[in-house]
Amino acid sequence: MEKKTASLTVIAFLFLAALSVAVQLSRAVPTWSTDIRLTTDPSDDWDPSITQTSDGRIWVTWHSGRTGNYEIFYKISSDNGISWSDDVQLTFDTYLDSHPSILQAADGRIWIVWDSDRTGDFELYYKTSIDNGASWSEATRLTVDPARDSYPSIMQSSDGKVWIFWNSGRNVTVSPPDPTYELSANIFYKSSFDSGQTWSDDTLLVTDYKNNYWDDLYPSCMQAANGSIWVVWAKEAREIYAKTYNGTHWLGEVRLTTDPKEDTHPFIMQTANERIWVFWDSDRNAHDTDVYYKIFDGSWTSDVQLTTSMEDDDWPSAVQTNDSRIWVAWNSPRYPQLVYDIFYRTGIERHDVAVHGVTPYVPSHNNNTFAYRGEIAYFRVEVENQGEGKETFEVKCYANSTQLDQTIVTLDSGKSFVSVFEWNTTKVKPGIYVPSAVAVAVQGEADISDNYLAGASFLVKIRGDVCGWHSGVLMPIPDKRVNLDDFMVVVFNYGTADPSWNPTWGPACDIWGEGRVVDIDDVMTVSIHYGEK
């Protein structure tokens, strides 16, 4: 019996653990489209890079073998992928041009950087366009070293600086000196403050030494919303690592994957809700490679498999467009062509904000059902982010149709917040009011049915208005005026106190609620407000 109980306990624990992972992944996984083929040339198309320019057009650039050697091509969609331009050839060189990376800078200039062996060894080159691709500059050489410089990644930081990261097989000087040093690929970067007129020196970012000379390959870079610069890469094409720059120095390496199979060709991006995404390809399914991703939102999610075809899916690149969709492009030798073409799919993160509660409160008499005209009432509005990742949204509060105020709220996924709105009732007509609040829908909102919520009815009344005639009967219900009926009722109950007072009229006539007695203050209050309505 004890063994059976123990077994059931273990099974229950494993079930709950699995359920926890499933819930975590369900919050992380957006709704994805089917795979869409972008290129159809009978030659191989490799290593796409995707972006959206400020005019809303989506660009995909890649290298292709269709000319007899690798050249850089691109194509553009002006209607969110409904249609695409013809393939446009960017480079025309008899040597290899490969592995492009694309950026539109803040000044509108479009950059495409790639590697080429046109000098006899691989170096980095780039072209720019100041007219949205109508014309391009000549190819500019960026690196000069006899070792191989390849696989560039380009970004621009918020200060206007353009950064390019790449891996190089050049010899480096390690410190302290290491007699066992072996040549390996390392990550370098350089930057320009003036749109490429001048560049910083080549700077070593990542090197492995001390009897562990792994190649550091395929960097991808971006700047996060908090200003930090992130670089991810593959170490020996086996695992994905990350490194960040906090504005003063680079922090240590962080390992992102731990699968025994090869994880390589990473790409990093951040969505508008400040979640950081890393995509890569992996052969962990044995028969082929697939694209995977994981998300950082304060902590890293588990690895999520994106593609599931029987052919290899490699070299992912991603962007979030203005409509909040996430686009992921990669290359794959799918049927029936069975040569490498560019594919993509799109996905939508869940964006969902909600109003959870609207509660009025009047601290002057510790009540949440009414306020005397002239008092300050407070409406406490609770909102929640039910979507994925951080959201910044506007919250508006109303009394009936009158807007009291609005505020901007920023919430992490799953978090709630209470905003307090002040209502000065000095010039408000007495009557019944319904407090309500609206969480203004965010872009791509999944469910707007809970963005509005009304609270319980709230009464604004005149101090001294304690009764009125209703259906021919005088009742302790205010009639929005202070008259002789109010004065006579208070005088008639003068001097009575809880608990011996009339259980109906005593509390109504105790206007100030001081000591639960009808006293001179209550009589004077009716006198002072006599005639108001």
**Can you tell me the distance from the alpha carbon of 42 to that of 32, in angstroms, rounded to the nearest whole number?**
28
**Can you tell me the distance from the alpha carbon of 346 to that of 74, in angstroms, rounded to the nearest whole number?**
19
Is 247 contained in some domain? yes
**Can you tell me the distance from the alpha carbon of 77 to that of 54, in angstroms, rounded to the nearest whole number?**
13
**Total count of residues recorded for the chain:** 533
Q: Same domain, yes or no, for 339 and 444?
A: no
Tokens 């690895």 belong to which residue?
A: 303
Is 14 contained in some domain? yes
**Can you tell me the distance from the alpha carbon of 235 to that of 50, in angstroms, rounded to the nearest whole number?**
24
- Of the residues 299, 330, 348, the one at which a domain ends: 348
Q: Same domain, yes or no, for 147 and 267?
A: yes
Q: Same domain, yes or no, for 17 and 80?
A: no
Phi, psi (degrees; rounded to nearest 5) at 159? -85, 5
CB 500 within 8 A of CB 488: no
Neighbours of 358 (CB within 10 A): 22
pLDDT of residue 212: 59
- Of the residues 348, 370, 392, the one at which a domain ends: 348
pLDDT of residue 17: 40
333 SS3 class: coil
Q: Same domain, yes or no, for 17 and 147?
A: no
Task: Name the amino acid, one letter, at 386.
Answer: Q
Q: b/e map of 324-353 (b: 16 or more CB within 10 Å)?
A: bbbbbbbbbbbeebebbbbbbbbbbbbbbb
Q: For residue 361, what is the domain's CATH number?
A: 2.60.40.10
29, HSE (Cβ side, Cα atoms, 13 Å): 16
Per-10-residue mean pLDDT for the chain, 533 residues long?
Answer: 41 38 47 95 97 98 96 97 97 96 98 96 97 97 96 97 95 70 85 97 79 82 97 93 94 94 97 94 91 94 95 97 94 93 94 95 87 94 92 96 96 94 94 96 89 95 94 94 96 95 94 87 95 92
Q: How many domains does the chain have?
A: 4
358 SS3 class: strand
SS (H, E, C) 97-160: EEEEEEEECCCCCEEEEEEECCCCCCEEEEEEECCCCCCCCCCEECCCCCCCEEEEEEEECCCC
State the residue range of the domain holding 18.
Answer: 1-32
Q: Same domain, yes or no, for 64 and 144?
A: yes
Q: Same domain, yes or no, for 23 and 102?
A: no
Phi, psi (degrees; rounded to nearest 5) at 12? -60, -40
**Can you tell me the distance from the alpha carbon of 444 to that of 416, in angstroms, rounded to the nearest whole number?**
20
Phi, psi (degrees; rounded to nearest 5) at 407? -145, 160
Residue 162 burial (10 A CB sphere; 0-12, 13-18, 19+): buried
Q: Same domain, yes or no, for 382 and 317?
A: no
Is 252 contained in some domain? yes
Cα distances from 373 to residues 229, 309, 400, 424, 518, in angstroms, run 55, 69, 16, 9, 21
Q: Same domain, yes or no, for 441 and 483?
A: no
Is 533 contained in some domain? no
Q: Same domain, yes or no, for 210 and 103?
A: yes
Task: Name the amino acid, one letter, at 419.
Answer: S
254 SS3 class: strand
Q: For residue 108, what is the domain's CATH number?
A: 2.120.10.10
SS (H, E, C) 375-442: CEEEEEEEEEECCCCCEEEEEEEEECCEEEEEEEEEECCCCEEEEEEEEECCCCCCEEECEEEEECCC
- Of the residues 348, 372, 388, the one at which a domain ends: 348
Closest of 115, 122, 106 to residue 139, by C-alpha: 115
**Can you tell me the distance from the alpha carbon of 309 to that of 122, in angstroms, rounded to the nearest whole number?**
33
pLDDT of residue 22: 39
pLDDT of residue 446: 83
Q: Same domain, yes or no, for 395 and 270?
A: no
Q: Same domain, yes or no, for 136 and 203?
A: yes
Q: Same domain, yes or no, for 443 and 418?
A: yes
CA pseudo-torsion sign 157, 163, 167, 168? negative
CB 123 within 8 A of CB 114: no
pTM of the model: 0.76
